[in-house]
Structure 1
């Protein structure tokens, strides 16, 4: 459910509209130390241009060569790499890894358009492909679902883009916003203070007008949303945090010293009746302890902790060592 998959679909849609042939390739099973997990997606254009990845590069090279040589599939088909140790070495799959893929020609693009529209509205979508016919159906997914493959049908999940709401538009927010965009986050910035109005033009970020608590409430924060309060103004930060800690946001953080954070937790508990469980969700002081001093260093510490939390559920959900089948 990475937003990279949505970019792959967007590229595939654009290529088809331009008249190109497109093949989608999905990792469905891995054994050993395969480079990419089940669900990883690749699009290959008829002239060899690619978007996404399914390995460290060698498998992509072979797939490109197949397409450029004129190999075409009328229906979805299975393909495997690294079945033997020799093949694993040839295709750069470490430790005897094995990769099994489903490749399919993209003809009808209506399902891609629907997936992109629904995920843009922050909906989780399950896409089921029937290999025998190439038929595609779409449905609503839940966050506890995983990719499924039974040999005849393949169900993959597409989720909305990860987004980050920053409360405050100071120098630190600008550093966090720039780095977060490199990590493929949609960045939103809210700061109602007039003296910061001139700094809201952060390249690539979206200014959201209004008071922070209203913005958090209206944003309907889901499990693809992170919220970080950086104003150092309790009147702004605390009210935003009140709404954030009661939302489904996967990460909530606030700038401030350990002493300030203790006072903040006391205020939130006494005046706003936040529970211990809700307060425990607050990352404050925000960021990993790496001795950060400058705005850029603090931004690194914040985003490192945010990524750690973002990936935690995915890591915890991975099967034990051995055959890895989503």
Structure 2
């Protein structure tokens, strides 16, 4: 029962974890049927037998979580030979490591027309959505999904520290008139994706500001996606939201984004530009 409670807690808190299960045993082994949970930090619940075998399985589980891919772990309880774990039991085990990554966390800076539509689509797709705005009325709009977290403040200098961004965060900036301030607060923080709702001209202007006033390198500037979204001829807020969500799904599923400059050329659509490490969906 404790194992199920722990699984429920990890799911509720959106923590990445792996569920280890013994699926085959041969010969003498400490356990023949067991489950174990390993988190990305290496915390555990349950046991699959202990000893060096379990230690190596934990290491394999943490590596699998980091890669976002389930795998099999083979262990021979012997001192020498392939898959030997330094034990004298003499048996062998096969353990399935099922990875359950975190659900993607999406932070929408600005709760206006477009980001409201992005929020509605994202919630339906399983994203954990946080909306931030300096205007309380935007955060209270009746079209916003009730499950969205909402963060307000006098300015984005006060709001951004409350968000809790990390290397797996997806951030979209679409404010009324505070894009520059929001961008300056975010650009040096960890994130998986940063998109700015902007025209090509506006995006060029902001990149120049970041280059000249903040000393950002071209490599750092390349982390900013602006204009954002796939080129589908979107005009209405919901159409723009579809293009944005499509780009996020592309990154989340494949770890890659097709540059906007290539999206009009069908022949180049297969040439993807990698952006950091992929984080597969759990489904």
Instruction: Indicate the TM-score class for this superposition, using the shorter chain for normalisation.
Output: 0.5 to 0.7
Aligned match of 1:183: 125
Give, in angstroms, the shift of residue 159 of structure 1. Answer: 2.3
Q: Given that residues 187 and 206 in structure 1 are in contact (C-alpha distance below 8 angstroms), is that contact kept between their aligned partners in structure 2? A: yes
5+ residue gaps, structure 1, are 1-107, 319-326
Deviations 1:250-288 (A, max 9, x none): 211111110110110111122223232221011111211
CA distance in 2, matches of 1:307, 1:208: 24
Aligned match of 2:9: 117
Structure-2 change in CA distance of 1:232 and 1:254 (3 Å): farther
Of 182, 192, 195, which aligns to 1:253? 195
Q: Given that residues 156 and 185 in structure 2 are in contact (C-alpha distance below 8 angstroms), is that contact kept between their aligned partners in structure 1? A: no
Q: Given that residues 120 and 160 in structure 1 are in contact (C-alpha distance below 8 angstroms), is that contact kept between their aligned partners in structure 2? A: no
Aligned match of 1:221: 165
* Number of positions where the alignment pairs a residue of Structure 1 with one of Structure 2: 208
Q: Are 1:173 and 2:115 an aligned pair?
A: yes
Q: Given that residues 173 and 195 in structure 2 are in contact (C-alpha distance below 8 angstroms), is that contact kept between their aligned partners in structure 1? A: yes
Structure-2 change in CA distance of 1:143 and 1:294 (3 Å): same
Deviations 1:223-242 (A, max 9, x none): 43211011142xx3233333
Of 103, 106, 113, which aligns to 1:161? 103
Secondary structure of the structure 1 residue equivalent to 2:108: strand
Give, in angstroms, the shift of residue 116 of structure 1. Answer: 3.7
After TM superposition, list the pairs within 5 Å mapping 1:1-326 onto structure 2.
108=1, 110-131=2-23, 132-140=32-40, 141=62, 142-144=65-67, 146-150=69-73, 152-194=94-136, 196=138, 198-199=140-141, 202-204=144-146, 205-210=148-153, 211-233=155-177, 236-313=178-255
> Structure 1 length as normaliser, TM-score?
0.56
Q: Which moved more, 1:174-183 or 1:118-127?
A: 118-127
Give, in angstroms, the shift of residue 303 of structure 1. Answer: 0.7
CA distance in 2, matches of 1:293, 1:238: 23
CA distance in 2, matches of 1:166, 1:200: 17
Deviations 1:124-151 (A, max 9, x none): 2232222322232424335225312146
Secondary structure of the structure 2 residue equivalent to 1:208: strand
Secondary structure of the structure 1 residue equivalent to 2:67: coil
Deviations 1:188-243 (A, max 9, x none): 1111135645537612322112243444333332343211011142xx32333334
5+ residue gaps, structure 2, are 24-31, 41-61, 75-93, 257-271, 279-283
Q: Given that residues 19 and 35 in structure 2 are in contact (C-alpha distance below 8 angstroms), is that contact kept between their aligned partners in structure 1? A: no
Give, in angstroms, the shift of residue 312 of structure 1. Answer: 2.0
CA distance in 1, matches of 2:11, 2:159: 20
Give, in angstroms, the shift of residue 177 of structure 1. Answer: 1.0
CA distance in 2, matches of 1:178, 1:279: 29
CA distance in 2, matches of 1:182, 1:253: 20
> Structure 2 length as normaliser, TM-score?
0.64
RMSD: 2.8
Secondary structure of the structure 2 residue equivalent to 1:222: coil
Q: Given that residues 151 and 162 in structure 2 are in contact (C-alpha distance below 8 angstroms), is that contact kept between their aligned partners in structure 1? A: no
